[in-house]
Amino acid sequence: MPGSGPAYLAGLFGDREVAAALDGPAQLAAMLRAEAALAAAQAELGLIPATAAEAVAALRPPEPGELAAATERDGTPVPGLVAALRAQLPGPQAQWLHYGATSQDIQDTALALCLVEVLRVLEDRLQRLGDALAALAEAHAGTLVAARTRFRTATPTSFGLTAAVWLTPLVRLRAQLAELRAEVLPVSLGGASGTQAALGPRAREVEQRMATRLGLPVAPLPWHARREGVAEAASWLVRLSGALGKIAQDVVLLSQSEVGELRLAGAGGSSTMPNKQNPTAAEAVVALARANAQQVGTLFEAQLHAHARDGAAWQAEWLALPEICIRTGAALRHALALVEGLEVRVERMRANLDAGQGLWAAEAASFALAAHMPRAEAQALVKAACREALDSGESLTAVLRRRTDAPLDWAALADAAAQLGEARAMIERAVAANAALPVARP
Amino acid sequence: MPGSGPAYLAGLFGDREVAAALDGPAQLAAMLRAEAALAAAQAELGLIPATAAEAVAALRPPEPGELAAATERDGTPVPGLVAALRAQLPGPQAQWLHYGATSQDIQDTALALCLVEVLRVLEDRLQRLGDALAALAEAHAGTLVAARTRFRTATPTSFGLTAAVWLTPLVRLRAQLAELRAEVLPVSLGGASGTQAALGPRAREVEQRMATRLGLPVAPLPWHARREGVAEAASWLVRLSGALGKIAQDVVLLSQSEVGELRLAGAGGSSTMPNKQNPTAAEAVVALARANAQQVGTLFEAQLHAHARDGAAWQAEWLALPEICIRTGAALRHALALVEGLEVRVERMRANLDAGQGLWAAEAASFALAAHMPRAEAQALVKAACREALDSGESLTAVLRRRTDAPLDWAALADAAAQLGEARAMIERAVAANAALPVARP
Amino acid sequence: MPGSGPAYLAGLFGDREVAAALDGPAQLAAMLRAEAALAAAQAELGLIPATAAEAVAALRPPEPGELAAATERDGTPVPGLVAALRAQLPGPQAQWLHYGATSQDIQDTALALCLVEVLRVLEDRLQRLGDALAALAEAHAGTLVAARTRFRTATPTSFGLTAAVWLTPLVRLRAQLAELRAEVLPVSLGGASGTQAALGPRAREVEQRMATRLGLPVAPLPWHARREGVAEAASWLVRLSGALGKIAQDVVLLSQSEVGELRLAGAGGSSTMPNKQNPTAAEAVVALARANAQQVGTLFEAQLHAHARDGAAWQAEWLALPEICIRTGAALRHALALVEGLEVRVERMRANLDAGQGLWAAEAASFALAAHMPRAEAQALVKAACREALDSGESLTAVLRRRTDAPLDWAALADAAAQLGEARAMIERAVAANAALPVARP
Amino acid sequence: MPGSGPAYLAGLFGDREVAAALDGPAQLAAMLRAEAALAAAQAELGLIPATAAEAVAALRPPEPGELAAATERDGTPVPGLVAALRAQLPGPQAQWLHYGATSQDIQDTALALCLVEVLRVLEDRLQRLGDALAALAEAHAGTLVAARTRFRTATPTSFGLTAAVWLTPLVRLRAQLAELRAEVLPVSLGGASGTQAALGPRAREVEQRMATRLGLPVAPLPWHARREGVAEAASWLVRLSGALGKIAQDVVLLSQSEVGELRLAGAGGSSTMPNKQNPTAAEAVVALARANAQQVGTLFEAQLHAHARDGAAWQAEWLALPEICIRTGAALRHALALVEGLEVRVERMRANLDAGQGLWAAEAASFALAAHMPRAEAQALVKAACREALDSGESLTAVLRRRTDAPLDWAALADAAAQLGEARAMIERAVAANAALPVARP
């Protein structure tokens, strides 16, 4: 809403491109596109004069603020918009504007158009982020790093695999875009109560031609009162911001002072501590993702849309959906900058791995020992050796060599690089899945 | 949780079949299936003795309550389960159980198995509900009823179209089931940190054979720390309960005393007012849908899963997902009973439509008049006639005939059945879309 | 955020006064007030030169947009603000600005100041709304209307009691304002890590003097990382918008075509149906309340504020709290206009009550009959009579008189006004509780 | 709900005591207490026979499961309960049970009774947790530890201050308990539609005597349709679980491998990695807090309770509130065990502080230098010295001494213990605030 956010937060939480696809001028322009497509379709079928359709196509929308009072009165900007547009038209043509449509038809069609544009902006960034992550995954396929499970150092992994884990949900999300566009956001043209009665006997043809002109699909029947498409689009957005939140949270944690395995470009300063570099963008992505996950329920609940049109349920969508779009856009913008500016500190990763007396070898050692003794005995032996290593400061393999004469390949056990299992193949599969996605239209 | 819900609420909020797919015994049985499939796959490849796999296949899970203390200590039931199972195995075979797997592999694979079963239960009901709605839509394709928009009587529609609007989201949801099964819920087999290191060089083969045995897909890399699949499944469930909530809310409103167009089978009684029949099941569906829409954010947020495994984020899923399943199941069960037991009061629908001095003809009259005068003038004339009709108690068409000599087809205008526009064709498309869905496996 | 909401929605969802208390200029001005109060307190104690404090007091904040880039980099506007302010100060004095404080001190103190102003705006409206509801309750203490329970006509009540039920939660909320101000929103002055180390040995005195100057309380220790106050303030706001949502939802339902007991001033029009008047403002209040109830969880979750400062948790507050304030303000503004413009249609209330064959008398009849027969028998008799009345169209009391010779006071039974029980006394208590509240400062 | 949670999760997510206050038998027993108190009050006033009240007092509630079918039909267990109880009474007395009450009166009064018991259980634990945190804060008032702000090492603080920060929200929450009991959860006795009509002319006296017997307050008018009390109670619970979540999240982070400053008693094991100890209980508290923060919106939204009784809104409370109670109880139980079992590793805290080349002195050094040069110059000097220290591995003070001849007290600067500012006084204030709270009744 106007005034709801201080301008100094525009860079942190705002998104110029996404906002431009959804702001007042954009939505009014889309409403006008909807009216023009309707009029053109009706003119093609001889239902209204061709000159009227041409006149509608030449209209210009009013300033959004001019419609505030009418929108507050009517609960939708469309009656005010139609009145303002009719005032621009000569009398005989004014009547053919909005002919047979209801406000919700125009506003929901405009929403579909705006969301398609939002998806285009996001798809482009998603593709770039996917490519950046794929490159990161390949570049660090062999970079050893300690896996942390439940905030405890576990076995070695590669940083490339971490990047591939970040990438994989984005591949799924990108793959769903085509269906989102084809199924979820159709043209809306139901007329007053969803029967298309005022549109006349060729209503379906009008709807189909209008949809074709706008590049939108048609639905079997109007979506005035069934909002599953809005809910599905919202769910896609919030799954995306959640997937970005995972990346960002890992970045915060891997860059924390005590870990220090990642450094961020452009990290923010402190007003009083000259030594600090703060992970601002990563924090923002986490905050945006969590705020989205709370707000999105509004869109699921808005499916409880009473009767043939429910003003409160409909308005609730407008409160939640544009924000979720913008938050997702801002999160994606920050995530892209984060990943592209990531400094991977390979030596620190290695040093951290080695810092724990090589306890990361515990699992591998217990598997290796199990070839020479019962597994339970092997696990008990390793557990005791872990404790001794922690107490004495020796490496786990040194302690184990003293405690057992089982003929293990001690060099391999001490070599974290030998413990990466399928990491490289996994990375290749993730990268290939990303590469197989269709390229976004420019 | 044990004790979290009074047993007297079992019929209202519980769901025997869905709960049976997710309860303690079901989840432990699924964990054991996961262990057995892993062992069988490893035995096939010669990685563990065939006798060990056979012994694992013959194991029986413990009582869930026996694992409560271990689960509270470990944060997952699997270590306690594995210990209890190993105690049943002869020493040499005990070591091959859970060989190379981590707790999360077993628990998440079990989750996938349980969710597949939940989806099976829901799909069957969804199909029956879809068919019931399709039948209702066809039976009442010509049943006149007032559309209500924004809680105001609008133009006539048919009750069949209302039923078709209820049906359409369910068609989309059913159509997504195949992909949910094929993409969203794969087998989990990553080992300690997601590299499959302890599974040996044939890890991918093991994973694929294990998946085939369980009827689950495989993913390009483990989903330990990427939870988009859980989020997507949750979103499907909540979109479903939201779609059911829309039906139920309409039923509450159409059966309210002042509307009375629907009556419900089995409506509940009052403890003090002998005249009342309450819409209990419909209320429950609304309540379940709203509670789901609030809780589901937990699953989107759980995507912010730190590092290679995050205990808190993982546990949060267990708090939210089973409940959402059960609530959705209960909502679907009630919705099915509601729709199957719906008494459609055709005369009351007609009487209500006629009660408003035929104001429903206002839109049609203004379109008809617009053929004889400028549209703005036509609308003003109709608006004034509406006011006069409301004041005088006459019908709108009677007032209009007095106020204009435009040669309208007054009989058609007074005939609500002539105002249904495309309703019948819409119903046919919705019914056809439902009929085109694949039939659920028995 | 800038661009997040179309300007045409400003009247529907925005709130000029609340936004003005929270927008960029307001927050920067409050940050500057915080800096000035800190400097003045330090100067009073001789810790910094008096001329420096005077120079700080004379500063003017920059335009919010000028700080967008710095805020995006730093994750808080304060470092950029301090730099911009220092550039206005002569070198020797620049160093005393922000002396010993951390960014969070200034930003959180400003938040407290802004929220106090928001509460002032809301309190004033709350008082007016309370008075309007009290007047409505008293005026309609004897206005008969059907109570609806579970969307079914129940026994008679008075519309004044409905208004008193709307009023009562607002009384509680207003009564909590004093404590909110005194306890929940203290000054923040912890320094870099919350120890006040850089503030020197008289830090507590500085904090207390700063608080006094700003009219804020002090806390036992800094609230950098404990956010229960923000959560409590948010909970107050959302309880308020929920209480308003109840009023608005009742207004939607009582003004629906089939009930028609309330009419709204300034109801909105339809773009195609000349006969419709839509309950726009009431719908907006419902939508705002539901959206708030979803988003507020962000503030409860933001209590999980890691370590001594958590950028993500802190930022999440900024995403959610200002919007909740504005939504609550808009809801309160609409609710006030709704209640002040309500047309209570006394005859229609009475007509609706009478329309149901007097079934509202069922409970009273069964109690009266129970003086002459066992209660179960009385209830069964009434139930059967209800069914007969519904079938025959007779009044319930007419049917009952035929079915029993119990010597009831039939006139009293048929007199809904005699069935109001304690309604009048309840109204008086609610009105008195409202009148006993302290009057808001002008 | 029955079956909604596997029994193996009982220790992790369940709470025996809280569940026992809310489970089926407890709620039915409370409903029966409500009926008995009503009957006793009516008998005292001569409105029903004393023998009837005695008979009611002697009743025993049925098994909860026996009421499942009736509850599913009626949407509340009370009609079924009343019928089951009446079947136990001799005919003439059966009619005096539930005399003049409605189902909601009994169920909501029972809810109030159960919540009072829940609060008693929680208060006792809160007090113990508060005392444990106060003791921890005092014991570690001088224990040096690095403060972390935004996941970066900042200036020194004391671990005691961290504990005092954990404590402070709990003090506020405990202080609110008395008012919660006195204001928020009154007896419910409105009769069919909230007018107390069927209760006769002495209804208010009945209500007051019933309340006194039950130890509950009375409200100015019934709360059937105003649910602000439920919302306020829920908000208290979720603010509590949020405050506990903060403690637990800090514990997870301070015990992570790379920090290692806390160790947890009873930490859980891994199924495959013998070296790991997982922070299970702390993870559970975080998960419970986040799940609560999502679900609680249901209770705020349930304030949108239509008309005089709204089945869906009322049922939604039953879905959300008991779980929130149990989750909060489980979180409090775990938090208490966590804090009581915390091993504070003082040396590791000190070692971590020293590990960063003493960069924690940066802020203090810049303030000290600012006495000898302009502050901007001092900050630039310190920033450059920080970078040099990080590159060279020297301590910050060593670098600074080389770079400046300002006569600083270098020993004090290098002494973290001298940097604690007001920490000790803050701890004392927090501990005193805790000690000043009223002691819970045994």
Task: Note the pLDDT tens digit of each residue in A252-311.
Answer: 999 999 999 999 986 665 555 566 678 999 999 999 999 999 999 999 999 999 999 999
* Residue among B23, B272, B287 whose CB faces D3 most closely: B23
- Summarised one tens digit per residue, pLDDT across range D192-209 is 999 999 999 999 999 999
Residue C99: its H or E element: none
Percent of residues, chain A, with pLDDT higher than 70: 96
| C363 contacts B152? CB cut-off 8 A | no
SS3 C55: helix
* Chain D residue numbers touching A146 (CB-CB < 8 A): 257
Q: How far is B347 from chain C (nearest CA, A)?
A: 14
- pLDDT > 60? residue B233: yes
Q: Please indicate whether residue C103 is annotated as part of the active site.
A: no
For A128, other C-beta atoms within 10 Å of its C-beta total: 15
Task: For A424, name the nearest residue in chain B, comparing CA atoms only.
Answer: B195
| B161 contacts A194? CB cut-off 8 A | yes
pLDDT grade, residue A375 (50/70/90)? confident
Task: For D107, name the nearest residue in chain B, comparing CA atoms only.
Answer: B271
The residue among D145, D148, D149, D152 with the most chain A CBs within 10 A of its CB, best to mutate, is D152
* Chain B residue numbers touching C148 (CB-CB < 8 A): 256-257
Predicted pLDDT of residue D274: 61
Question: Could you tell me if A127 lies within 8 Å of chain D, comparing CB atoms?
Answer: no
Q: Which of C328, C392, C331, C381 shows the shortest CA–CA distance to C357?
A: C392
Distance CA C197, CA D420 (A): 6
pLDDT grade, residue D1 (50/70/90)? very low
The residue among A149, A317, A431 with the most chain B CBs within 10 A of its CB, best to mutate, is A149
Cα dihedral D342, D343, D347, D352 sign: negative
Mean pLDDT of D355-373: 86
CA distances (Å), origin B105, targets B34, B98, B112, B207, D267: 9, 10, 11, 11, 21
Q: Is the pTM of this model over 0.95?
A: yes
Distance CA B168, CA B130 (A): 9
Q: Which of A31-35, B276-280, B360-364 has the highest mean pLDDT?
A: A31-35
Residue with the bigger pLDDT between A83 and D441: it is: A83
| D168 contacts C307? CB cut-off 8 A | no
Distance CA D246, CA D232 (A): 21
In terms of phi and psi (left: phi > 0; alpha: psi -120 to 50; beta: otherwise), the region of D204 is alpha
SS3 A343: strand
The residue among B273, B294, B394 with the most chain C CBs within 10 A of its CB, best to mutate, is B273
Contact by Cβ (8 Å): D197, C421: yes
* Amino acid identity for residue D111 in this structure: L
Task: For B278, name the nearest residue in chain D, comparing CA atoms only.
Answer: D74
Question: Could you tell me if B150 lies within 8 Å of chain C, comparing CB atoms?
Answer: yes
Residue with the bigger pLDDT between A136 and B361: it is: A136
Q: Please indicate whether residue A4 is annotated as part of the active site.
A: no
**Chains in contact with C, counting 3 or more C-beta pairs less than 8 Å apart as contact:** A, B, D
- Summarised one tens digit per residue, pLDDT across range A204-218 is 999 999 999 999 999
| D1 contacts B19? CB cut-off 8 A | yes
- pLDDT > 90? residue A68: yes
Mean pLDDT of B183-189: 95
Catalytic residue among C309, C327, C333, C345: C309
Predicted pLDDT of residue D3: 39
Alpha helices in C140-227 (DSSP H): 159-175, 177-179, 203-214
- Summarised one tens digit per residue, pLDDT across range B51-100 is 999 999 999 999 999 999 999 999 999 999 999 999 999 988 998 999 99
For the record, the structure tokens of B441 come out as: 């496996």
Instruction: Dump the DSSP string for A399-416.
Output: HHHHH------HHHHT-G
SS (H, E, C) chain D: CCCCCCHHHHHHHCCHHHHHHHCHHHHHHHHHHHHHHHHHHHHHCCCCCHHHHHHHHCCCCCCHHHHHHHHHHHCCCHHHHHHHHHCCCCHHHHCCCCCCCCHHHHHHHHHHHHHHHHHHHHHHHHHHHHHHHHHHHHHCCCCEEEEEECCEEEEEEEHHHHHHHHHHHHHHHHHCHHHHHHHHCCCCCCCCCCCCHHHCCCHHHHHHHHHHHHCCCCCCCCCCCCCHHHHHHHHHHHHHHHHHHHHHHHHHHHCCCCCCCEEECCCECCCCCCCCCECHHHHHHHHHHHHHHHHCHHHHHCCCCCCCECHHHHHHHHHHHHHHHHHHHHHHHHHHHHHHCEEECHHHHHHHHHHCCCHHHHHHHHHHHCCCCCHHHHHHHHHHHHHHHHHHCCCHHHHHHHHCCCCCCHHHHCCHHHHCCCHHHHHHHHHHHHHCCCCCCC
For D291, other C-beta atoms within 10 Å of its C-beta total: 29
Predicted pLDDT of residue D390: 81
For the record, the structure tokens of D82 come out as: 């009343």
- Summarised one tens digit per residue, pLDDT across range B270-298 is 555 666 678 999 999 999 999 999 999 99
Predicted pLDDT of residue A3: 39
Mean pLDDT of A236-257: 98
- Summarised one tens digit per residue, pLDDT across range A101-118 is 999 999 999 999 999 999
Q: Which of C19, C81, C94 shows the shortest CA–CA distance to C51?
A: C94
Predicted pLDDT of residue A2: 38
Percent of residues, chain B, with pLDDT higher than 90: 82
pLDDT grade, residue A357 (50/70/90)? confident
pLDDT by 10-residue block (mean), chain C, 442 residues: 73 96 97 98 97 97 96 96 95 91 98 98 98 98 97 95 98 96 95 95 98 98 98 98 98 96 77 73 98 98 98 98 97 97 96 87 87 86 88 88 91 89 98 94 64
